[in-house]
Amino acid sequence: MADLHLGGWREDTLREVGIKAFEKAIDISIDENVDFILISGDLFDSSNPTIDVMARAAKKLYELKLKGIIVYVIEGSHDFSPTGRTILKVFQEAGLLKRVTSGEEKEGKLTLKGVLNEKTKTNIYGIPGLRGSLEKATYNSLNRDELEKQEGKKIFLFHSAIEEFKSNDFYHMESMPISFLPKGFIYYAGGHIHERGEFELGEYKNVVFPGALFPNNIDELLSFRGGGFYLVEHSDGLLNKTYIPITIAPVVLLEVKLECTNPINIEEKVRNSLDKTCLKDSIVIVKFKGKLDGNISDINFKKISLFLEDKGALLVKRDTRDIKTKEFKEIKNSSMTKEKLEEEVITRHKDQILLKECRMETVSFVKSFMNLLSREKKEGEKKEDYTNSVLNDSIEYLSKNNLLEDFNETSNT
């Protein structure tokens, strides 16, 4: 499984559904008597989860420990604090998780050590994901030959998008080529892409993204409706994978078409579009579409929510992004994720950013550069060292992209 994002969502109800999805996935794994569990990053939504969320996770992980089921993990981009610390370390020290990312760097070459699962004689390796896809540097120094030469069954955990397998929806997302991964492993457990996908290419078989265990924002709720994980069986050289969907609360989409509707009449519209739809214990997304004769702020959402909750809805979320007001102007997005919002702003202004010689596509370049510049000072790091390191990284990044001269021309610092 991957991208659990425990503790995510602002609404208590949705956060609870996310945790319940995790608990259910673990219960199923115990019932199925699995040998071990792999989590390919973003177990928690933040590197500093609340005590309640950590307690719920610890309780479930302890159940696994009692059953002798080991949980192997890598960090995802969400598991690291700005100073590079990871909450997973706490769980590892408590014996509830095993991080598989240990390695040794010698003369610029990284040798991964991996962890052996004794019961199945499987070697498990992995490289964590970093914010802004900075893990690419790790892959660049990875000694792949040595990993490929190792005998026996091998599994690789990663938390990155793969260029060859990226769908159009993830066009702008930073990604790496599949050739960054060592060849010939029996299973590649992927995370980071919240959409489910099974892939293979040449010597890379069973490259699997289980997707988020539970959707992480309104867009994911709308497109995926739910999440799940993979149950994988390997015997006599044959690998069988089964997707196990997890449904705690069904997602119901209620589309309300507006035809120059007055805000006062919206409730009636909602009633009419409901028809015989069953809302029992479901997450209802009311998507308003069309022209509104008035302001969005005049819509009584509270009343609409209460009405739908009365019909059995567990929670009501609204999507007003497709409403056009009287002047038929588009409403600017407001319920997107921080990353998407940033990306949108950059995309909107990209024509003003003249990067003629840049090796990368403008939006990806700006996003990564912003990430690089937003690195925070590490604990104990001297201010001068910090400044120099950010400066050096920036110069290196610019020169890698053929842009150093451009910048020297326009600035003296």
Chain residues in the site for Mn ion (CB under 5 A)? 3, 42
| E strand or H helix at 130 | none
Our CB check for Mn ion shows the closer of 79 and 288 to be 79
Q: How far is the CB of 275 from Mn ion (least distance, A)?
A: 36
Q: What is the DSSP string of 354-409?
A: --TT-SS-HHHHHHHHHHHHTPPPPTT--HHHHHHHHHHHHHHHHHHTT-HHHHHH
Our CB check for Mn ion shows the closer of 1 and 316 to be 1
Q: Which neighbouring-strand residues pair with 288?
A: 256
Q: How far is the CB of 290 from Mn ion (least distance, A)?
A: 33
Q: How far is the CB of 96 from Mn ion (least distance, A)?
A: 21
Q: Could you give the CA distance from residue 381 to residue 375 in angstroms, rounded to a whole number?
A: 12
Contact yes or no for 228/196 (Cβ under 8 A): yes
Q: What is the DSSP string of 274-305?
A: HTT---TT-EEEEEEEEEESS-GGGS-HHHHH
Q: How far is the CB of 57 from Mn ion (least distance, A)?
A: 16
Our CB check for Mn ion shows the closer of 40 and 261 to be 40
Our CB check for Mn ion shows the closer of 224 and 288 to be 224
Our CB check for Mn ion shows the closer of 3 and 220 to be 3
Contact yes or no for 227/212 (Cβ under 8 A): yes
Can you give 144-187 as a three-state secondary structure string?
HHHHHHCCCEEEEEEECCEHHHCCHHHCCCCCECHHHCCCCCCE
Q: Could you give the CA distance from residue 35 to residue 155 in angstroms, rounded to a whole number?
A: 14
Our CB check for Mn ion shows the closer of 309 and 339 to be 339
Q: How far is the CB of 233 from Mn ion (least distance, A)?
A: 26
Q: How far is the CB of 194 from Mn ion (least distance, A)?
A: 6
Q: How far is the CB of 47 from Mn ion (least distance, A)?
A: 13
Our CB check for Mn ion shows the closer of 42 and 343 to be 42
Q: Could you give the CA distance from residue 364 to residue 170 in angstroms, rounded to a whole number?
A: 12
Tokens of 284: 């209802």
Q: How far is the CB of 5 from Mn ion (least distance, A)?
A: 6
Residue 66: how many other CB atoms lie within 10 Å: 8
Q: How far is the CB of 78 from Mn ion (least distance, A)?
A: 6
| E strand or H helix at 84 | none
Nearest to 395 by CA among 363, 378, 367, 372: 372
Q: Could you give the CA distance from residue 187 to residue 156 in angstroms, rounded to a whole number?
A: 6
Q: Which neighbouring-strand residues pair with 324?
A: 291, 330
Our CB check for Mn ion shows the closer of 176 and 403 to be 176
